[in-house]
Amino acid sequence: MKQLILLFAFSFLFIKCNSSNIKEKNIGLIAQKAMVVSAKIEASQIGAEILKKGGNAYDAMIATHFALAVAYPVAGNIGGGGFMVYRNNDGTKGALDFREKAPITAHKDMYLDGAGNVIKNKSTVGAHAVGVPGSVAGAFEVYEKFGSLPFKELIQPAIDLARNGFKITKKQAASLNKAAAKFKKVNTYKTLFEAEWKEGSLLKQEELAQTLERIRDFGSAGFYEGKTAELFVNYVAQLGGIISREDLQKYTAIWRKPITFKYKDYQITSMTLPASGGICLAQILKSITPYNISEIKHNSTKYIQLLTEASRRSYADRAHFLGDIDFVNVPIDSLTATDYINQRMDNFSWDKATPSSEVSHGKVLGYESDETTHYSIIDQFGNAVSVTTTLNTGYGSKVVVKGAGFILNNEMDDFSSKPGVPNVYGLVGSKANAIAPEKRMLSSMTPTIVEKNGKLKMVLGTPGGSTIITSVLQNILNIAEYDMGMQESVDQPRFHHQWLPDVIRMEPGGFNSETKTELKALGYTLYEKKALVIGKVDAILVLPNGSLEGGADARGDDAAVGF
Ligand code: GLY
């Protein structure tokens, strides 16, 4: 196993990058007081330095977020959005929604042709795919409520990183080279992302540095108004998009009440709508609560079967019921009620798969490249922050705002363009997730915090589109049922089922042939594509002695830094 554990002599930060071998039982970085785990070492270091200076988890969140927008352009962003779940050291919890919104002039059929068919790529590539970004508003909302250090100290490291550049990794070089043709096709000028990238190439982003300086100097208005807004709106209009100055000015992030529920001895807090993660996680964990999971072998036929059947039923409900809570009435309490869940699992049988064609949404009583990125932070005061943020697919719409250097999301594809027609993740939707002006598109993001006996136990989340929910689920079970360490848990092979398509996706090489044969005999269709990755989980576990163990996903370049 090749692993890197360095004492960062200057600042006394411990650093651990991911390992390239995900099968060994690794122990993650252990830190005594505080930790940041994110998709890039530069961002984890910047966040941890802020903590070391006396900043809190929220200060570190802001610094890490802007650093990822520079060092991890595939998903880190200021042109996208996301969600944060937090737990303060006094046990108070909350959630922030900085999800993108549909533009004011958006309409239900905007991705359909005259015959009512979905126009290929219109919701995924180019200016039409862009939702009104929420990340910068989110950062300021967090800062106003919880920030402690001067804002300019939080954003300056990202500005310096953009201006001075950073060395890209092998994985980043491959990813950027793969996306080059799309950047070229979408933009009217040669963006700086179109180059012959090699591991170690320096990526400098001067225009992005200047945009970040405007945010530093003018606050939220440095993004949603003034020069940045002008460059944004003009370029989007030039490419045929519909986002206006009014869209940008009207954007607000929203504090929401997270979904909180019990799973055996654990209290789980996760994101609510417009993120589906918390509701689906509650449904799936409640569906399997009657079973003695720890007695079922990890990743065995029975384990995969049970989680698959619970997920199948939950994703069917997701497709029918879930959408932006500010626009549609979603029966959250009914959907997560134990009686309802038990009744949904009534027809589960160990003897054969339940075909998705026989599973629809339930009847509830009352009404109420898959690239995203996640970072987890625990500070030296005991506050915890779990943030998942995205441009949607890798590099979002591929639109790079001319003169401003940032990439715009393609989050509009997370709406249901037409009922029953799958989006880029194969997810289908219904009227609940139809496009409407200023509505937020349904997300699978699942930033989550786990407590045990009233104490902080784990902070976790992941990218991965529709597979986010099942990746978070499996990591919770790894800790709660199988007593794994954090890195050991993150390293485990993962599988995924989402109702439609009716297949179990499995990470190649992670499951033995006997299990696969048994699953097939029970009627399951398996899908094991070469190099298929399910989630990139970045998590922190509080160990019984109070120290912290990081789990940085080896599927990416992820890294834990702490002290
Ligand atoms: N864009 C992926 C998600 O929000 O689920």
**pLDDT tens by residue, 288-298:** 999 999 999 99
List Cβ neighbours of 253 (8 Å cut-off, separation of 6 or more).
Answer: 96, 97, 98, 134, 137, 138, 140, 141
Q: What does the DSSP 8-state code read for residue 81?
A: E
pLDDT tens track for 515-529: 999 999 999 999 998
pLDDT tens track for 79-120: 999 999 999 999 999 999 999 999 999 999 999 999 999 999
Residue nearest to atom 3 of ligand 1 (CA): 443
372 noted as active-site residue: yes
Q: Indicate the pLDDT class of residue 3, thresholds 50, 70 and 90.
A: very low
What spacing in Å lies between the alpha carbon of 308 and ligand 1's midpoint?
21
Q: What does the DSSP 8-state code read for residue 343?
A: H
> Are the CB atoms for 148 and 62 separated by under 8 Å?
no
DSSP letters along 188-200, please?
SS--TT-S---TT
- Catalytic residue selected from 372, 373, 388, 462: 372
Distance CA 209, CA 215 (A): 10
Q: How far is CA 514 from CA 385, 474, 530, in A?
A: 40, 21, 19
What is the rounded average pLDDT of the residues 396-423? 95
Q: Indicate the pLDDT class of residue 281, thresholds 50, 70 and 90.
A: very high
What spacing in Å lies between the alpha carbon of 66 and ligand 1's midpoint?
19
Query: 392 CB under 6 A from ligand 1?
Result: yes
Query: 390 CB under 6 A from ligand 1?
Result: yes
68 pLDDT higher than 70: yes
Distance CA 132, CA 343 (A): 40
> Are the CB atoms for 104 and 244 separated by under 8 Å?
yes
Q: Which atom of ligand 1 is the closest one to the Cα of 411?
A: 1
Choose among 87, 422, 4, 6: nearest CA to 267. Answer: 87
What spacing in Å lies between the alpha carbon of 484 and ligand 1's midpoint?
28
> Are the CB atoms for 81 and 390 separated by under 8 Å?
yes
Residue nearest to atom 2 of ligand 1 (CA): 465
Choose among 369, 376, 373, 532: nearest CA to 463. Answer: 373
pLDDT at 359: 86
What is the rounded average pLDDT of the residues 389-399? 97
For residue 43, report the phi and psi dihedrals to the nearest 5 degrees. -70, -40
List Cβ neighbours of 164 (8 Å cut-off, separation of 6 or more).
Answer: 204
pLDDT tens track for 42-62: 999 999 999 999 999 999 999
Distance CA 518, CA 541 (A): 34
1 pLDDT higher than 70: no
pLDDT at 6: 36
What is the rounded average pLDDT of the residues 251-272? 98
Q: What is the mean pLDDT of the chain?
A: 94
Q: Indicate the pLDDT class of residue 4, thresholds 50, 70 and 90.
A: very low
More confident residue, 423 or 209: 209
Three-state DSSP class for residue 266: strand
Query: Could you count the other beta carbons within 10 Å of the beta carbon of residue 200?
Result: 10
Residue nearest to atom 1 of ligand 1 (CA): 392
3-state secondary structure 388-442: EEECCCCCCCCCECCCCCCECCCHHHHCCCCCCCCCCCCCCCCHHHCCCCCCCCC
pTM, two decimal places: 0.95
pLDDT at 24: 57
pLDDT at 2: 34
Query: 172 CB under 6 A from ligand 1?
Result: no
Query: 414 CB under 6 A from ligand 1?
Result: yes
Query: 388 CB under 6 A from ligand 1?
Result: no
pLDDT at 10: 37
pLDDT at 317: 96
274 cis-preceded (ω within 30 degrees of 0): yes
Radius of gyration of the chain (CA): 22
What spacing in Å lies between the alpha carbon of 402 and ligand 1's midpoint?
25
Query: 465 CB under 6 A from ligand 1?
Result: yes
Q: Measured between alpha carbons, how far apart are the two ends of the chain, in Å?
A: 23
Q: Indicate the pLDDT class of residue 22, thresholds 50, 70 and 90.
A: very low
**Burial status of residue 499 (CB atoms within 10 A of its CB: 0-12, 13-18, 19 or more):** buried
What is the rounded average pLDDT of the residues 545-559? 97
Q: Which atom of ligand 1 is the closest one to the Cα of 393?
A: 1
Q: Partners of 562 in the beta sheet?
A: 14, 35
pLDDT tens track for 446-482: 999 999 999 999 999 999 999 999 999 999 999 999 9
